[in-house]
């Protein structure tokens, strides 16, 4: 379900995950850095877990053993910590 015009999935608006799959092999830390950059660029109103599921459905069949596939799967396993971060990130103390 990729967007052929943009050559990446709508859950990846900047194409970071798409590019990670297209690059020559990188170190695991570099893939993690790409994932973090992607995650930080997702607007707060979007459900990160759902976006990760969409990306996995797009890439995991074609790239089952790719490091980014493993990192995306890890992202699903840590969904409670992602949700907690999302809830507290936008809160500010009022004086």
Q: Where are the domains of the chain?
A: 16-88
The predicted model scores a pTM of 0.75
**pLDDT at res. 53:** 96
**pLDDT at res. 8:** 77
**pLDDT at res. 47:** 92
At 65, list the tokens.
Answer: 């053993």
**pLDDT at res. 90:** 55
Can you tell me which residue has the tokens 């699903």?
Answer: 76
Task: Quote the CA–CA distance of 52 and 77 in Å, as a whole number.
Answer: 11
- pLDDT, averaged per 10 consecutive residues of the chain (95 residues), comes to 59 95 94 96 91 96 96 84 51 55
Task: Quote the CA–CA distance of 11 and 52 in Å, as a whole number.
Answer: 8
DSSP state, residue 45: T
């Amino acid at each position: 379900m990729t967007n052929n015009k943009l050559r990446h999935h709508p859950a990846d608006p900047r194409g970071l995950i798409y590019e990670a799959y297209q690059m020559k092999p990188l170190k695991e830390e570099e893939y993690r850095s790409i994932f973090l950059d992607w995650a930080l660029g997702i607007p707060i109103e979007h459900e990160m877990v759902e976006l990760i599921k969409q990306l996995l459905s797009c890439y995991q069949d074609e790239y089952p053993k790719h490091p980014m596939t493993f990192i995306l799967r890890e992202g699903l396993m840590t969904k409670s910590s992602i949700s907690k971060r999302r809830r507290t990130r936008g809160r500010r103390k009022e004086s």
